[in-house]
Structure 1
Amino acid sequence: MKKLFVMITACLIWAGSAAAQDMPGLQVGDLAPDFTANDFRGEKFTLSDHYDEGPVILVFYRGGWCPYCNKHLQSLQARMEDFEKFGARLVAVSVDTVEKAAEPVKGHNLTFDVISNPEGDIIKAYGLSFKVPVEIREKYKEYGIDLKAASGRDDGLIAVPATYIIEEGKIIFAYADEDYTKRATPEQILAALEERQAGQQPMLLQ
């Protein structure tokens, strides 16, 4: 597993070395594109249906095959009670199929919404599209990772990892990085929720 972890990290750094330094995706102040998609149970989930419940923490991850993503999802699960104190709902999106999206939910006992979007339209709407180069996809297969089997896509499309806090359809916190070893931590998310509650503008992290 450690060897796999190191290999995936090395591939990412190689693939993203020429990426722009500016934070990808939507920014604080932008309207959050609404969407309807299947969750890991195959049930329809519409983002805007939950705006009146409180802030939505929207997390984009690469897929259940990614060890960094699984580690991040577990760290978020560990702070669910803290998020809920602010009335926040956590939603995670990837291009995994419904069946694949269910695997980390069951494997890590996740209690938040995990959304399947193999069509990729949600990550495109948020400006988070990333295509894994063919040579890296082939390297992944040597370690038992088949991106096509995970999403049903043959173009290597996945999401740039990102976290947004959405308030009534507007983005009030944003974090995205093409280096997927870097994620918004639960502590950073909670700090943004505290600032929101205090009437301050949460900061954009880069």
Structure 2
Amino acid sequence: MSLQDKLDAFKTDFEAGKPPYNVPYSVIEIMHRATAELIASGAAQKALKAGDKAPAFTLNDPDGKPVSSSDLLRHGPLVVTFYRGVWCPYCNMELQALQAALPDIHEAGARVVAISPQVASNSRKSVRQNELEFPILSDTHNDVAAAFGLRFELQDYLVELYKSLKNDLPAFNGDRSWTLPMPARYVIASDGTIVYAEVNPDYTQRPDPAELLPALRQASTTKA
């Protein structure tokens, strides 16, 4: 089953209010509205694309160790996924899919990192629960997400919904701003050029990791 098939199956049960979710449709309507407005804003078209240079970054892993994109790229291409947080089931399923694809990614000579605004303790929880063998890096204030053109601010009505659902982003992220990264996945070649980019303001839509492998293999044959 593809990643999108799994996401669609989860979405069907979630939006139907089936146990254990039991979510009223009024909540689903607000989520649909927010997604539609983000799509209509054109924000995704402003994000970095294939052919652009990726911003260099140094972020801490869940143990507080700094991880540099420049250091990683010296060893080969880099897969970067932007992860909203431990509270997002769609994001967790994507991380699990990337973990399952990790042998193919490593065979292509590449490494994987996830970038999230959440605090280190939540990233440790994400790594543990999703049984990850790649790090989740802490992007405080979504600064790296902003450099990629992915950061957006939640509308007031969506903030109120998140609060009612106990999704307290300031607590999850250790940051008072109510901002998130749009879900995105990049392949960056050793010279820092983005060779694959997938950005979708609809958080329920995620490409299968297999879709990045051709670009990854091509990038692996090109030396910086």
Q: TM-score, normalised by structure 2?
A: 0.81
Q: CA distance change for structure 1 residues 123 and 171 in 2, over 3 Å: closer, same or farther?
A: same
Identity over aligned pairs, percent = 35
Q: CA distance change for structure 1 residues 101 and 6 in 2, over 3 Å: closer, same or farther?
A: farther
- Which of these two proteins has the greater Rg computed from alpha carbons? 2
Alignment-mate amino acid for residue 178 of structure 1:
P
Q: Distance in 1 between matches of 2:108 and 2:195?
A: 14
The yes-or-no answer on 1:190 pairing with 2:209 is no
Q: Distance in 2 between matches of 1:97 and 1:37?
A: 12
Uncovered stretches (5+) of structure 2, i.e. residues with no partner? 1-19
| Partner SS, residue 140 of structure 1 | helix
Q: Distance in 2 between matches of 1:81 and 1:21?
A: 33
CA contact (8 A) 2:189 2:195 kept: yes
Match of 2:56 in 1: 34
Alignment-mate amino acid for residue 106 of structure 1:
R
Match of 2:32 in 1: 13
Q: CA distance change for structure 1 residues 7 and 143 in 2, over 3 Å: closer, same or farther?
A: farther
Match of 1:204 in 2: none
| Equivalent residues, number | 199
Q: Distance in 1 between matches of 2:137 and 2:27?
A: 23
148-157 or 28-37, which deviates more = 148-157
Root mean square deviation of aligned Cα: 2.3
| Partner SS, residue 212 of structure 2 | helix
1:86-145 deviation per Cα after TM superposition (whole angstroms, max 9, x unaligned): 011001001111112211101111110210112321011110011122322221232221
Q: CA distance change for structure 1 residues 87 and 5 in 2, over 3 Å: closer, same or farther?
A: farther
The yes-or-no answer on 1:73 pairing with 2:95 is yes
Uncovered stretches (5+) of structure 1, i.e. residues with no partner? 200-206
Match of 1:112 in 2: 134
Q: TM-score, normalised by structure 1?
A: 0.87
CA contact (8 A) 1:23 1:177 kept: no
Match of 2:105 in 1: 83
Q: In the TM superposition, what is the alpha-carbon distance from 1:150 to its structure 2 partner?
A: 0.7
